Amino acid sequence: MSEIILAQSAGFCFGVKRAIEMAYKQIEKKEKTYSYGPLIHNKEVTGDLEKKGLAIIESLDNIEEGAVLIRSHGVGKALYDALEEKGLGMIDGTCPFVKKIHNLVKEHHDLNEGVIIAGNSQHPEVIGINGWCENEAEIIETPQEASALELKDGQKYILVVQTTFRQSRFEEIVKELNKKNIQLEVFNTICSATEKRQTEAVALSQKVDKMIVIGDKKSSNTQKLVEICGKNCNNTVHIETICDLVLNNFLKNDKIGITAGASTPPAIIKEVVVTMSEAFDNAVQNLEGSEEITFEQMLEDSLVTLHTGDVVKGTVIQVVNEEVSVNLGYKSDGVIPRGEFSSDPTVIPSELVQPGDEIEVFVIRVNDGDGNVLLSKKRIEAQKGMEDIEVAFNEKTVVAGTVTEVVKGGLIAVVNGVRVFIPSSQVSNRFIEDLSVFKGQELDFNIIEMDRVKRRIIGGRKALVEKEISAKRAALFASIEAGSKVTGTVSRLTDFGAFVDLGGVDGLIHISEMSWGRITNPKEVLKEGQTVEVFVLDVDKEKGKISLSLKDIKMNPWNFVAEKYAVGTIVEGKVVRMVPFGAFVELEPGVDGLVHISQIANKHVVKPEDELKVGEVISVKVLEVNTEQKKISLSKRQAEAPAEEENTEAEATTEA
């Protein structure tokens, strides 16, 4: 008895199936509709559609009304523009995988990058792709053509590939192009369904005696299947329908493999398999009787069955207004509203998924009222996330979540699609007045409470933060030394100084160590959050205290006083403080000198305030400098003496 093995992925891919679904739906509307070129490379299907009213056109000439269905192979940008200019309706049946290539080509062409397409230059898909870079792409089909290709040295190029291209040949082309002196970015745009179908064909053709490949003679992917199978099985035949099959070429004990191209409808595959089964009296599992059936019925039979609550995989068709359309292999497409895409409201779907991407979704309702399947992606995330959180809770491991909201009493963080509440008392090891600083941040925390039934999940960072700080304190005290220079952040200001976070440990800058000059409030010099470089004055590891200074000892102004303020020189200074025995004058920040009351004026002075005012700038003569005791004696009277002598001489001359 012979054995008949049918490849799992034989027949319609979802892109072709989707385009045909669109065609039959459009026909039901009884509107004048055209297919721009044959919808697929299969005469049986296109013939059936033509009988039902879908006219095939090759140009828009003389088409003034109605709608045009764009086939799954896709078309160039020029046709979209022409349809819009003529005011014709459009049903876009372009395969999402092909649409993804269009977007890539246009994006990079607009950036003045060169485009290389690996594929058949006469294939409608390749012609359409080329139309998105103003037909300026280099098109190659073999490694030899890639080697001979003349490209501009140093130029940026992208390489895309026809979705039905053979993977091994594409890899050879990439290898040849990488030898050239160009900047090449490679996009492997071979359809996953095509790759799977070809991989299955290789495996199946290696273990059978005879191989049957079903598909239209013009179908590119079918021709590649024939080529692949022929390398592994010499007895490979290519048929379009059961009418092309010569049964006499098969024996009763043959092991027979069957596969089919992406444009082959299930009705034709079924007819071949059933006929082979009956001819050799060999039942084939999972196949029904061979009664006559229409293409629409076979299409319906080939679709998956969905139920509310199912978790299924689908392929992104398009993203419009942040609503994601998904092909599920069902009679209707699925829709993910933005609110069901992610638990994080800041997530923008169009930035995460593109046409052709495969995603896992949860079925909320099979019919949302508009004939679409209502889907959710965030519920999948939540299910998986809940399992991860439960493991983290039981094993007391750390999880990471992004803070999406600041609410009364704490924060909401999302961990793998699950909302976790972090009370304000658990955000840190100290009180934080403004929690909004955490919004948008990714935080590490523990799950300290969990009720899966009530979906009550509470996170906590307090113990984690304390542990981190303890580790940082130990590391810091092990390395920090008096006299070293470190960088920190001002964490808090007080009347007597400023606390600086050195990385888990706060050090204190006393107000007296903030400036060589005189300040009355730390806010004059520093502000919270400011990054500062400080000098370590003292480290007390037992008490956990670190004394800091902003003053660089090398820049102590008293180091240069002897040179700058030599005895006998006259300089200017500002009166900063009065005492009963005189006035202190600031010569520069950190350097004060004393004008004794006897040196204020050429007369008896009872109180310094009678002759001077705080803030007044005066000229003084340097009488004495003691750098060790940091004392300078000044005289206002002697600084003014020459002027007084000149005035006395002038008065005497006038009297004479």
Catalytically annotated residues: 125
Look up residue 557 and give its amino acid. P
Partnered with residue 535 across adjacent β-strands are: 485, 549
Running DSSP on this structure, what letter comes out for residue 100? H
Residue the block writes with tokens 């990439």: 174
Q: CA-to-CA distance for 116 and 105, rounded, in angstroms?
A: 9
Instruction: Name which of 394, 387, 334, 383 is nearest 359 in CA terms.
Output: 334
Name residues whose C-beta falls within 8 Å of residue 190's C-beta, 6 or more positions apart in sequence.
Answer: 161, 162, 163, 164, 165, 167, 170
Residue the block writes with tokens 């979906």: 455
Cα torsion 393, 394, 400, 405 to 10°: value is -10
Q: How many CA atoms lie within 13 A of 19 on its CB side?
A: 33
Instruction: Name which of 269, 267, 259 is nearest 291 in CA terms.
Output: 267
CA triple 618-623-629, angle to 5 deg: 105
CB 303 within 8 A of CB 50: no
Look up residue 114 and give its amino acid. G
Q: How many CA atoms lie within 13 A of 573 on its CB side?
A: 30
- Going 540 to 541 to 542 to 543, the CA torsion angle's sign is positive
Instruction: Name which of 200, 217, 219 is nearest 72 in CA terms.
Output: 219
What 3-state DSSP class applies to 90?
strand
CB 248 within 8 A of CB 221: no
Q: CA-to-CA distance for 388 and 380, rounded, in angstroms?
A: 13
Return the CA Rg of the chain: 42
